[in-house]
């Protein structure tokens, strides 16, 4: 049976599936609100952020529409609006890509220019998804969306196989520290749901992924348009035994291993109320970027190297027994240490070492090449220092996936460079710590963010 998307079918949502979902949702809400009375035993299974990427027209926006539609996350009036604008464009079926292409320029041109964020929940897990543009020209917007995601879905058109943008986006998703990459071989309906096509693409992608050092990939054949293997299995891909895309998203382990990593806490602000009762109060405010901390733990402040212990952890007057990655808190220390915004509080045992030179990978996002930008500022955590590019060692050739020699750095290049810093920062290698190993470069003349940077190896002073 052909699954056509029409507004009528949407009204069918009032049937059983919708009711089921409402029940789940209520139970979910109850669970996080009043655990004992409404709980129903359904846990709050956390928040997963993911991005859809791949080349233009591979079906990213359609897939998102399909995911939202089949998980009943499109509300009736939004669906009506969608049907109306699809009709206005002379389309017979509802064009699900119009859900995320929200700018007038995007609708006029039928393309995605910037990332759109959408939100949905399945009853157990909450999702933030980012629909990325496929055009090379808008790569910086894709990188923006990828930088905060936990998982990337790289779409491939089954008829076309791996395209240059497939390689670019997979590389960037990997570089930006996404721990899960799902390769969705889309438009299987246009290749008669042929397993051989899927296997060929799987082998192709597997080969370049291992060159890039990507440890693990998930592969799913699907049709975003017809709905096979997205939320429902459908009947035409019976040779595929793995999970549907939705099942995979629901079961991916949310990475709480970031709590096992070394403690890092870039200081955003120092709180000194200087009122009569709080005359000696000094709270260091920031977010735990990795690891965990509890009162009594030994810390080192970088770049000064000063040491102390945590006396108290606070949030809004309340004392916390512990803080873990992702939480924003205030730390009070046992000793009076000179700490200000830009400093990094780290675990004493595994403190990063200050350095004034780095080898790093840059994803160059600026429109102008490196040779014609203004002076550069590097921002790592909350610390900003002037920087100069020493040597441009190589550019990653996205065809061969090998480093090649290069003179200058242009938009969308992925290069390895050495950087000299005016003052010290205390970075981690990005392969070890996503947050401690990343930085941005800002052009002082335009104030634009021109590069995403990944620390390869800090050269310790």
Partner 1 sequence: MTHRVLSHLERLEGEAIHILREVAGQCTNPALLFSGGKDSVVLLRLAEKAFRPGRFPFPLVHIDTGHNYAEVIDFRDRRAAELGEKLIVRTLDESIAKGRIVLRSATESRNRHQSVTLLDTVEEFEFDALIGGARRDEEKARAKERVFSFRDEFGQWDPKNQRPELWNLYNARIHKGEHMRAFPISNWTELDVWQYIAEEGLELPEIYFAHEREVVELPGGALLPVTDLTPIPAGKSSVRRSVRFRTVGDISCTAPVLSEARTVEDIIKETATTEITERGATRLDDQTSEASMEQRKKEGYF
Ligand X SMILES: Nc1nc2c(ncn2[C@@H]2O[C@H](COP(=O)(O)OP(=O)(O)O)[C@@H](O)[C@H]2O)c(=O)[nH]1
Residues at the site binding ligand X, with contacts judged by CB under 6 A: 56-62, 97, 112, 134, 186-187, 189-190, 223-225
Nearer to ligand X, 143 or 450 (CB): 143
Residue nearest to ligand X (CB): 59
Considering only CA atoms, which of 385, 454, 452 is closest in space to residue 424? 385
Q: State the alpha helices, DSSP H only, in 126-194.
A: 139-147, 164-175
Q: Report the first-to-last Cα separation within the chain, whole angstroms.
A: 67
Q: List the one residue from 5, 42, 68, 116 that touches partner 1 (CB under 8 A).
A: 116
Q: How far is the CB of 414 from Mg ion (least distance, A)?
A: 23
Which one of residues 68, 143, 184, 185 is an interface residue with partner 1 (CB under 8 A)? 143
Dihedral sign of CA atoms 175, 178, 183, 187 in order: negative
Piece of 120-128, 205-213, 301-309, 418-426 that binds partner 1 (CB under 8 A): 120-128
What CA–CA distance (Å, rounded) separates 365 from 145?
13
Report the C-alpha gap between 288 and 329 in whole angstroms.
Answer: 8
In whole angstroms, how close is the CB of 57 to partner 1 at the nearest point? 20
Distance of CA 183 to the CA centre of its chain: 16
Part of the chain binding partner 1 (CB under 8 A), chosen from 39-47, 154-162, 227-235, 404-412: 39-47
Identify which of residues 62 and 412 has a Cβ nearer to ligand X in the complex: 62
Q: Which is nearer to partner 1, 80 or 238 (CB)?
A: 80
Using alpha carbons, select from 382, 386, 402 the residue that is nearest to residue 394. 402
359 contacts partner 1 (rule: CB under 8 A): no
- Residue 124 near partner 1 by CB under 8 A: no
Host H or E run for residue 196: helix 195-212
Q: Is 32 in the site for partner 1 (CB under 8 A)?
A: yes
Give min distance, CB of 59 to ligand X, in A: 3
In whole angstroms, the minimum distance from the beta carbon of 373 to ligand X comes to 31
Quick one: which segment of 165-173, 212-220, 309-317, 410-418 binds partner 1 (CB under 8 A)? 309-317
Among 118, 167, 226, 264, binds partner 1 (CB under 8 A): 118
Buried b (16+ CB within 10 A) or exposed e, 103-137: eeebeeeebbbbbbebebbbbbbbbbbbbbbbeee
Q: What is the DSSP letter of 290?
A: B
Site map (CB under 8 A) of partner 1, residues 156-195, x = contact: ----------------------------------------
Give the binding range for partner 1 (CB under 8 A) out of 53-61, 189-197, 279-287, 393-401: 279-287
Q: How far is the CB of 331 from Mg ion (least distance, A)?
A: 43
Q: How many CB atoms lie within 10 A of CB 257?
A: 11
Taking the least distance from each CB to ligand X, the nearer of 224 and 398 is 224
Identity of the residue, 137 or 257, whose beta carbon is nearer to ligand X in the bound complex: 137
Distance CA 183, CA 205 (A): 8
H helix and E strand count, the chain: 10, 22
In a 13 Å sphere around the CA of 131, the CA atoms on its Cβ side amount to 28
The tally of CA atoms less than 13 A away on the side-chain side of residue 81 is: 10
CB of 125 to partner 1, least distance (A): 8
Residue 29 near which of Mg ion, partner 1, ligand X, none (CB within 5-8 Å, type-dependent): partner 1
The C-alpha atoms of residue 347 and residue 345 are separated, in whole angstroms, by: 7
Shortest distance, position 428 Cβ to partner 1, whole Å: 13
The one among 8, 36, 104, 241 contacting partner 1 by CB under 8 A = 104
């Amino acid at each position: 049976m052909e699954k056509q998307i029409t507004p009528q079918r949407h009204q069918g949502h009032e049937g059983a599936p919708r009711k089921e979902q409402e029940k789940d949702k209520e139970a979910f809400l109850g669970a996080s609100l009043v655990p004992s009375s409404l709980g129903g035993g359904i846990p709050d299974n956390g928040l997963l952020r993911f991005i859809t990427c791949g080349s233009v027209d591979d079906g990213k926006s359609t897939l998102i529409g399909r995911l939202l539609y089949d998980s009943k996350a499109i509300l009736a009036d939004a669906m009506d609006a969608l049907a109306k604008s699809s009709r206005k464009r002379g389309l017979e079926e509802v064009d699900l890509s119009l859900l995320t292409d929200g700018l007038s320029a995007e609708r006029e041109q039928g393309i995605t220019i910037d990332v759109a964020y959408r939100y949905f929940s399945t009853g157990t897990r909450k999702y933030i998804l980012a629909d990325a543009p496929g055009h090379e020209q808008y790569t910086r917007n894709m990188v923006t969306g990828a930088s905060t995601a936990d998982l990337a879905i790289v779409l491939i058109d089954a008829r076309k196989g791996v395209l240059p943008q497939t390689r670019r986006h997979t590389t960037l998703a990997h570089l930006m520290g996404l721990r899960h990459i799902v390769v969705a071989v889309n438009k299987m309906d246009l290749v008669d749901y042929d397993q051989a096509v899927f296997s060929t693409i799987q082998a192709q992608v597997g080969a370049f992924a291992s060159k890039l050092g990507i440890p693990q990939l998930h592969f799913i054949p699907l049709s975003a348009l017809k709905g096979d293997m997205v939320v429902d299995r459908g009947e035409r891909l019976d040779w595929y035994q793995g999970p549907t895309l939705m099942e995979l998203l629901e079961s991916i382990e949310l990475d709480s291993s970031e709590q096992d990593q070394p403690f890092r806490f870039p200081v955003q602000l120092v709180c000194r109320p200087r009122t009569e009762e709080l005359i000696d109060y000094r709270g260091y405010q920031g977010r735990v970027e990795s690891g965990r901390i509890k009162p009594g733990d030994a810390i080192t402040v970088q770049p000064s190297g000063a040491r102390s212990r945590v006396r108290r952890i606070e949030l809004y007057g309340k004392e916390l027994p512990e803080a873990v990655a992702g939480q924003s808190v205030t730390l009070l220390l046992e000793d009076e240490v000179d700490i200000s915004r830009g400093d990094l509080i780290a675990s004493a045992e595994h403190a990063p070492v200050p350095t004034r030179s780095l080898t790093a990978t840059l994803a160059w996002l600026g429109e102008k090449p490196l040779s014609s930008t203004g002076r550069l500022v590097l921002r790592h955590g909350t610390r900003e220092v002037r920087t100069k590019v020493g040597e441009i060692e190589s550019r990653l050739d996205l065809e061969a996936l090998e480093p090649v020699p290069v003179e200058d750095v242009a938009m969308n290049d992925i290069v390895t460079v050495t950087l000299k810093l005016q003052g010290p920062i205390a970075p981690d290698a990005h392969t070890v710590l996503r947050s401690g190993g990343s930085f941005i470069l800002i052009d002082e003349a335009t104030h634009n963010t021109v590069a995403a940077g990944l620390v390869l190896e800090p050269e310790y002073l």
